[in-house]
Structure 1
Amino acid sequence: MMADNQAVALSPCTTPGTVCTLGIDLGTTSVKAALVVGTEQGQLVTQSCSRETQAQADSPAAGAQGMEQDVQIIIEALNECLVALPQEQLQRVSHIGISGQMHGVVFWKTNQGCKWTESGTGHTFQPEEVSHLITWQDGRCSSSFLSSLPQPQSHLSLATGFGCATIYWYLKNSLRESGFPIHLLPEVGDPGGIAGRMSHDWHGIPTGTEVGIALGDFQCSVYSCMTERTDAVLNISTSAQLTIPMPLGFQPPETPDSLSAVAYFPYFDGNYLAVAASLNGGNVLATFVDMLACWMAELGHDVLESSVYTQMINAALAQNDTRLSICPTIFGERHMPERLASVTRITASDLSLGHVTRALCQGIIQNLHSMMPFQHLKEAGVKRILGSGSALSKNEVLRQEVEKMFPFPVIYGKDVDAAVGAAIVMLHRK
């Protein structure tokens, strides 16, 4: 597991009059914990820590379409993050905000949650009697299966990887004839509300610390950075999202439009975000890197994937444009689940590594643009784009293609961070 510890401010929680909150983000590929200080001058992140989880697990029941993660490994990574943060600051945490990857589901036995044990830093916990996490990337629910389900009473369409769809899949495939088990669903509370209190001290965090209701990682990421209603936020990590705030008072349609590329996500204070949420982002590039590395291994040359990635980006930077066209939707899209990836306009002169990598990055951005075009942003009054996400920050070619496709000022390096957003929500609503 790789660590990413960073001190981004010098104001400690010990300063008189300050308030410390802890934000936790349980992401698809990593977890992060961030301490945020609230002072009269505003909010400052004092320190944060992240760990890659590498929690991918086999899913025999779902076969190749399944996408599951080991919950034990995720919690181990979270505990490592807490150990890495300053104990004297954790002892002053008053509220905890929680965010994480949305849409998935994990099952646990009634009255079984976690096991608390003493450790060198107080108490720690491990989940007990829990299933794997079936993630938002899970593909076991086919289009025909989804069409057989009752229509949701929502403006958002049902898709594979959504927890409710997965529960229906288990009901069908375990041969149980019954309706949807409503009793399994949690009660819905207001964002920033309190879910409960810590039953034990945890890595120095006091017993009784209030824990907020879990929040979507996407909304928390936007909350951490969007300061103006004329901002658009572009995030490219494992997947990719482009979002703009809807006008105050906007209400989504009463029924979902399964063919629409734009969804309306509930936001804070009764507002909504218009979101183009693509399933194809950094995961497409990761798949390409893995393919190249596998080809090299088959040819008798083992190479590090990090080296492959560096070389292909350098090759693409030397190739400013290409006639090659790649539709990169190898993971489909929720509004077009059957759409496959394709390569067109192939010529003998456009088959270099630089051409293919440039076309692949171009295709990722073009796909987002097809979901939420530049003209749509312009009509909505957008004045700048806040760019974030690990795939975007590491890839100059992607950034170049963003600026070609969306000719707005693009601000990179913003603190677009779900863990920070979750902590700030609790600061504002405590």
Structure 2
Amino acid sequence: MATGAGTLILGIDIGTTSVKVCLVDPRSKQVISRQAKDTQANVPSDLGSEGNKQDVPKIISAINSCVSRLPKDQLKQVGKIGICGQMHGVMLWSNKEDKKAWDCIETYMGCRFEIPKDNVSALYTWQDTRCERSFLDTLPVPQCHLPTYSGYGCATLFWIMRNRPHKLEHYNRAGTVQDFAVAMLCNLDHPIMSVQNAAGWGYFNTSVAEWNSDILQGAGFPTHLLPHVVKSGAIAGTLNQPWSV
């Protein structure tokens, strides 16, 4: 995503246990500053060891904390932000016509983002094992190069659809946690997902860069939750206003 006419690039990696950020000078190809923080975001699951969930507000807070510790004079020189993160996982959130899932708290420096817990689900990570083989065998055969595994976004959504359908009633958007972060920073109504993350969800044909929509719809899958897919490295948007951390 683009932020302005600055020359530095802010890189953000949302990992399974920690968040890492760095500032890169593309001219020298050198990392000039970096920060990291453990998210400590794991939350208990009602499925015990089969469930693996994380607290999204804690993850976003860790991002804010890391970025806030980068040198302020260097942050003013940022022109682009690149975000990557843990694959396969899925979270849900609610965007309404007059209100997004995130709150933008106005400060003298810009917008500080806060995430009300009621507006987002937990992040169901790639380590989640709720989709046992017996369950996976009941799912439609995907038309893609990857089989479906537990922890993949579409498999998890199938499980929620069949076992916790009331959860889907509260949300109208879904994506990886990095998709959520991009949507938040760019104030997007509908999330954008890169091709490799879509492949990591399953039911995505990389040859034609399309979801297996017909197959999913035939199985009653909530296809309205699927993010729009773009090429890796595409510009997702711009900062809606200065990001205050």
Normalising by the residue count of structure 1, what TM-score does the alignment of the two structures yield? 0.41
CA distance in 2, matches of 1:55, 1:119: 26
1:68 shift after superposition: 0.3
Q: Which residue of 1 aligns with 2:151?
A: 161
Amino acid at match of 2:68: V
**What is the DSSP-based 3-state SS (H/G/I as helix, E as strand, rest coil) of the residue aligned with 1:76?**
helix
1:96 equivalent to 2:66? Answer: no
Cα RMSD (Å) = 2.1
Q: Offset at 1:152?
A: 1.5
- The corresponding residue for 1:27 is 15
Match of 2:236 in 1: 195
| Secondary structure, aligned partner of 1:47 | strand
Structure 1 gap ranges (5+): 1-16, 205-430
- Shift of the alpha carbon at 1:121? 5.1
Paired with 1:18 and 1:149, the residues of 2 have a C-alpha distance of 48
The offset of 1:18, in angstroms, is 8.1
Deviations 1:24-77 (A, max 9, x none): 0000000011100021xx4111001000011110122x3331000001111111
Q: For residue 80 of structure 1, what is the aligned residue in structure 2?
A: 65
- Aligned residue for 2:140? 150
In the TM superposition, what whole-angstrom CA distance separates every residue of 1:359-382 from its partner, at most 9, and x where no partner exists? xxxxxxxxxxxxxxxxxxxxxxxx
Q: C-alpha separation between the residues in 2 aligned to 1:104 and 1:18?
A: 32
State yes or no: 1:174 paired with 2:159.
Answer: no
Query: 1:388 matched to which residue of 2?
Result: none
TM-score (norm 2): 0.71
Distance in 2, matches of 1:110 and 1:178, equals: 25
Number of matched pairs: 185
Give SS of 2:155's match.
Answer: helix
Q: Is the radius of gyration larger for structure 1 or structure 2?
A: 1
Q: Secondary structure at the match of 2:92?
A: coil
Q: Distance in 1 between matches of 2:241 and 2:224?
A: 27
Equivalents in 2 of 1:202, 1:36: separation in Å? Answer: 18
Aligned partners of 2:87 and 2:126 also within 8 Å:
yes
The answer for unaligned runs of 5 or more in structure 2 is 167-217
Q: CA contact under 8 A between 2:34 and 2:70: conserved in structure 1?
A: yes
- Judging changes above 3 Å, is the alpha-carbon distance between structure 1 residues 55 and 169 closer, same or farther for their aligned structure 2 residues? same
Distance 2:25 2:138 in 1: 49
* Aligned AA (1:168): F
Identify the match of residue 48 of structure 1 among 15, 25, 34.
34
Pair 1:106 & 2:67 matched: no
Secondary structure at 2:114's aligned position in 1? strand
Task: Output the CA distance in 2 between the equivalents of 1:173 and 1:18.
Answer: 48
Distance 2:54 2:134 in 1: 25
Counterpart position of 1:300: none
Instruction: Map 1:215-254 to 2 at 5 A.
Output: none
SS of residue in 1 equivalent to 2:228: coil
